[in-house]
């Protein structure tokens, strides 16, 4: 399977703007939270590798429609072309679970696949 740049989910109850806000909140808390550093370590994500990343627009959230069912709304988590495995791991192992813990399992729907932008 070829790995793509985007993770695609069925849209949950949070809007794309709300999810972007949660991502921004994570970056702000990372600067001051030793507990968050511990969570990163436990997830196997190097906090040191994150300090070298330009965080603006590295993880973007957009709404899209399903090709098969145009009425079906999808949520696409896209990574900048320069994104590396660290950002994808950060999303999958830290950010997504953090959003679901804070807002509930229905905040973001189930992942339906990965696709290229």
CA-to-CA dists, residue 117 to 61, 83, 104, angstroms = 12, 13, 28
For residues 89 and 44, give the distance between their C-alpha atoms in angstroms, rounded to a whole number. Answer: 9
72, 97, 85, 89: which is closest to 108 by C-alpha?
97
pLDDT interval class at 93 (50, 70, 90): very high
How confident is the model at residue 108, as a pLDDT? 95
Q: 85 or 97: which carries more pLDDT confidence?
A: 97
The pTM for the full model equals 0.81
pLDDT reading at 22 higher than 60: yes
Q: 46 or 99: which carries more pLDDT confidence?
A: 99
pLDDT interval class at 72 (50, 70, 90): low
Percent of the chain past pLDDT 90, that is, above it, reads 33
How confident is the model at residue 2, as a pLDDT? 35
Helices (H), 1-117: 16-30, 34-43, 47-51, 85-90, 96-103
CA-to-CA dists, residue 94 to 66, 69, 73, angstroms = 27, 31, 24
How confident is the model at residue 112, as a pLDDT? 87
pLDDT interval class at 5 (50, 70, 90): confident
Contact 29, 36 (CB under 8 A): yes
Q: Is 14 exposed, middle or buried (0-12, 13-18, 19+ CB in 10 A)?
A: buried
Q: 72 or 30: which carries more pLDDT confidence?
A: 30
């Amino acid at each position: 399977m070829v790995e793509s740049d985007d993770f695609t989910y069925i849209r949950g109850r949070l809007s794309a703007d709300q999810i972007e806000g949660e991502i921004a909140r994570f970056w702000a808390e990372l600067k001051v939270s030793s507990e968050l550093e511990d969570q990163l370590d436990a997830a196997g994500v190097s906090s040191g590798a994150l300090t070298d990343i330009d965080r603006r627009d590295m993880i973007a959230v957009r709404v899209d429609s399903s090709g098969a069912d145009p009425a079906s709304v999808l949520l696409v988590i896209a990574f900048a072309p320069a994104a590396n495995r660290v950002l994808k791991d950060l999303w999958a192992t830290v950010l997504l679970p953090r959003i679901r813990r804070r807002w509930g399992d229905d905040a973001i729907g189930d992942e339906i696949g990965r696709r290229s932008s």
